[in-house]
Amino acid sequence: MTTVGEFMTTRLVTMDGNDTLIAAAQEMRDSAIGDVVVTDGDSVVGIVTDRDITVRGVAENMDPGSTRLNQITSRDVVTVSQYDDAVAAADLMRTYAVRRLPVIDDGRLVGLVSMGDLAVEREPQSVLADISAEDPNN
């Protein structure tokens, strides 16, 4: 059994819900990532992706300089443990139609597992695995 902890991403970027969309977009650009985990203190309250900024923010004519992450955050966060089976994590992604799962240990955020991480681990010959394994091109 392969566990989530064996391949999860531990280089995480977290932001406060009061940070702006611009701040999140700049952080994503600078860190070459597509999401930030939104926290309130030590608690995970949601995730914001680059797509959320585009679809929920900019496309809705929200001002990226004054709109706060907590206004567009996906709040119903499905989480896993680092000890959970990789197949179970994939099943959760499928069931809840999400591409990323925060990894929580004793109530603390310790990692993030993405659909790309699962593809690299479970289906290394797939197109998604090839794309996910490459360095970002942005």
Both structure tokens of 14: 């977290």
As beta bridge partners, residue 113 has 101
pTM of structure: 0.81
Per-residue confidence (pLDDT) for residue 36, from 0 to 100: 95
3-state SS assignment for residue 120? helix
CB-based burial label for 117 (10 Å; 0-12, 13-18, 19+)? buried
As beta bridge partners, residue 9 has 112
Both structure tokens of 88: 């179970």
Q: What are phi and psi of 14, to 5 degrees?
A: -115, 150
Per-residue confidence (pLDDT) for residue 104, from 0 to 100: 93
Q: Which domains does the chain have, with CATH numbers?
A: 4-133 (3.10.580.10)
Residue of 28, 18, 20 lying closest to 100 (CA atoms): 28
**Chunked mean pLDDT (size 10), the chain, 138 residues:** 89 95 97 92 91 95 97 92 92 91 92 81 45 44
User: Using CA atoms, how far apart are residues 92 and 94, in angstroms rounded to an integer?
Assistant: 5
CB–CB of 34/49 below 8 Å? Answer: yes
